[in-house]
Structures are given as C-alpha cells and as structure tokens.
Amino acid sequence: MNVSRHQVETYFFGNPKFIGAKILFIKRDRRLAEYKEYLTDVHEFGNVWYGITGSLQGQRISIIVTGIGPSLVGDAVYALNRSDATCLYSGTCGGLHEGLEMGDYFIADQAVCGDGYTLHLGRAPLSVVSGDPELLRSLKNLLASKVDRIDNGVTFTTSSVVREVDDDFWKIVGKQCRIIEMAAAAFYAAALAAGTRAAAYFWVTDLPTRGKSFFEPLGPKDIQTKRERYNRAVSLDIEILSCL
C-alpha cells in the first residue's frame, strides 16, 4: 500500500495539526472532561482516536483516548507522525512483587511482550522492550517528589484479564516482572518504531497473586486507597506531563 505517514495520522486523528509535542495517552473517555479543566484554548480532534489539546504554562499539551488493550494503545501511538513528541502513558496495574501494596505507583523501565501486538513490530514473544532512558529518569524524579510509595522495573504486558484466573497463565510470567498490565510493551514498541520518546507509569489496583484480584472483594482500607488514587490521577498526570 502506498500510504504516507501523514495520511495515516490524518485519517486516524482527523485534525493532527492540533496535537501538541507533549502527549498523554489514557484508556477511558469518561475522564477527558476532567483533563480539559486544567487547560486553556482547548481544541478537540479525532476520527478513530480522539482527544483534546490545550495550553498549560505556555506549552501545548494533548490528551488522547486510546481505549483498552495493547492493540489499541500500540496503534494509537504508531499512527502519530511526529518524531519530536514526548509520549506518556498513565494507567493501572496489578502488583506482583511482594513489596507492592494497593495504591503504590510503578514506573515501567521495561516490558515483557506477552501481548501479541508487538509481533507486528518485529518483537519475538516474551522479548523485552524498553522505554526512553532519559524520559524515564525524569519521570522517576518527578513522581518521587509527588508521591510516597513508588517502585520501578519490569512489567508483564498481557492482552487478557480473564486468563489470569488460570494457574497455567502464571507459568509464562517471569519472576523479574513486578507488575502486570495491558499496555506498556505495545506502547514502547510502537513509540520506538515511530521514533518518539515514551515513558509509562501505573498505580496498583489489585494484587492478583495474593488474593486481591478483580474477582475478590476488597476491605474498606483498600477501597479508600483506590478512591484516593483515582481522584488524584488527573491532576498528577497533568503535573508530570507539563514538567517532562
């Protein structure tokens, strides 16, 4: 197919001229209005993927809604035609390492490709892909100045939540993986292929290997912790993105 990168970007984003140099990727559209409250001179764009761009402290910042799953996240990043972009992904994860607790923050230095999407970018199954080292260092410093409990390291990116209930699923999740989630490997692989700088961070919503999964009830303390993290997520994202 003789389709240019510009044509791809225009088709998927509708009005890509409105997309800024600093881009935050989020999963769910229901929070987009909350991000909008922090920005001025807001423009909306979109076709397949959509979002907003606005001004903050003299910078043009964009928020793009990807949807859920590695293929949607990866394609949204790969569709961008701008090598000068700084890309941040913010999401949630399951904590695997015994030192992680509900509500902890985690920066993904590397991600294991257990997702499937990364195959289309030449990555072998269960290979490891990394974020941008310089951007990750900046993210670590910024996040450490704003939150108390933070960890970093390797994440396992999966495309299935349902399979987590089966014992054999965990045989392919290496001991080096400190969290599990559904975006980082696709996000990093797509950013590298598109020539953009990328970093991802998450907060822990469940502990799937320690009896606190989506399928099991949580106590009042954990429920309160999750509510606090959820309520802070938008403002924290904006603070971090504006300083990267």
Q: Which CATH architecture has domain 5-243?
A: 3-Layer(aba) Sandwich (3.40)
pLDDT recorded at residue 57 = 87
Amino acid in the structure at residue 198 = A
- Enter the pTM of the model: 0.94
CA dist 183 and 154 (Å) reads 13
pLDDT recorded at residue 6 = 84
Amino acid in the structure at residue 8 = V
pLDDT recorded at residue 17 = 79
pLDDT recorded at residue 1 = 66
CA dist 72 and 82 (Å) reads 18
CA dist 5 and 211 (Å) reads 46
Element (H, E) at 87: strand 86-95
In order of 103, 136, 184, 229, the CA distances from 147 in angstroms are 11, 16, 21, 10
Q: Which residues contact 234 (CB under 8 A, 6 or more apart)?
A: 31, 34, 35, 38
CA–CA–CA angle 65, 48, 80 (5° rounding): 70
| Low-confidence spans in the chain with pLDDT less than 50 | none
Contact call for residues 179 and 155 (beta carbons, < 8 A) = yes
